[in-house]
Amino acid sequence: MRLRYRTIFLLLLTVGSLQAQAQKVTLDYYFNHEVHQTASGKTERYHYTWEDKANSGFSIFGDAFKRAGGHLDTLGEAPTFSNLKGTAIYIIVDPDTKKESPHPNYIETNDIEQIAAWVKSGGVLLMMANDSANVELPHFNNLAAKFGMHFNDDLQNHVINDQHFDDGAVVTTGNPIFKTARKIFMKDVCSIGINHPAKAGLKNSNGAVIIAIAKYGKGTVFAVGDPWFYNEYTNGRLPAGFENDKAANDVAQWLIAQIPK
């Protein structure tokens, strides 16, 4: 009897370990690799990183994934089916332009094939673009096209300054992605053109698609026209009524729910 209970216990430990591995959330540090110099003259990686707790960082979004049961990782090299193995959610945000990096790593054909194969096998891909002045869209769009999506060279929800927050407002009440957030702030985003298998996940007040979703093989792709969840807009700075902090939790939970069992 003791041997039987021990076997069951070890089996539960193994299942728990596999579930933890299946919820690894990996943030790309290769296509987006911006650096700056600190006050001491040290070169430092920054902008959309888990570690960055300043306005430019993703630390709050990372915390949302941890609350949802994920654990965080990064990938500082070109993605392959092999090095994405064990990753459940892979996030590519705001690929570098030459303005942001003297030698940007563009998303090339082999990268697209590797990422697509990983998604097809059950991976969940989050693609976060930006307005065209601040993101390398041509190569990013080559990847998006694989899933029936195209980030447009336009500017939606343009916000001039802090006196015009409402120009970036999007109502999310009743949207199945957003279980708790009723209104979000999304500023200066690009819209997304969609073809099969992509579908609209969220539209703004003009009817433009700003979030698109696609099922691809066993996997899922979630595309949004802005980095959106960096700390500046999830740390409580927004006027009352905007719920980006809740939206970050909603999206993290939704993405983790897409991981194949």
Convert the pLDDT of each residue in 154-206 to its tens digit: 999 999 987 799 999 999 999 999 999 999 999 999 999 999 999 999 999 99
Convert the pLDDT of each residue in 86-127 to its tens digit: 999 999 999 999 888 889 999 999 999 999 999 999 999 999
Convert the pLDDT of each residue in 227-252 to its tens digit: 999 999 999 999 999 999 999 999 99
Give the residue among 77, 52, 66 at the shortest CA–CA distance from 24. 66
Q: Report all structural domains of the chain as residue ranges with CATH numbers, in order of start.
A: 15-257 (3.40.50.880)
- CA pair distance 152, 123, nearest whole angstrom: 25
Identify the pLDDT of residue 85. Answer: 96
pLDDT at 13 exceeding the cut of 60: no
Give the residue among 188, 183, 190 at the shortest CA–CA distance from 238. 183
Give how far Cα 162 sits from Cα of 26, 130, 204, 247, Å.
Answer: 33, 19, 19, 20
Identify the pLDDT of residue 18. Answer: 42
Identify the pLDDT of residue 118. Answer: 98
pTM listed for this prediction: 0.90
Identify the pLDDT of residue 6. Answer: 53
More confident residue, 140 or 14: 140
- CA pair distance 136, 191, nearest whole angstrom: 15
Average pLDDT of the chain? 91
Identify the pLDDT of residue 10. Answer: 43
Query: pLDDT grade, residue 4 (50/70/90)?
Result: low
Mapping DSSP onto H, E and C, the string for the chain reads CHHHHHHHHHHHHHHHHHHHHHCEEEEECCCCCCEEECCCCCEEECCCCCCCCCCCCCHHHHHHHHHCCCEEEEECCCCCCCCCCCEEEEEEECCCCCCCCCCCCCCCHHHHHHHHHHHHCCCEEEEECCCHHHCCHHHHHHHHHCCCEEECCCCECCCCCHHHHHHHEEECCCCCCCCCCCEEECCCECCEEECCCEEEEEECCCCCEEEEEEEECCEEEEEECCCCCCHHHCCCCCCCCCCHHHHHHHHHHHHHHCCCC
pLDDT at 69 exceeding the cut of 60: yes
The residue to which tokens 């998303």 are assigned? 107
Identify the pLDDT of residue 140. Answer: 98
Which whole number is the average pLDDT over 23-30? 97
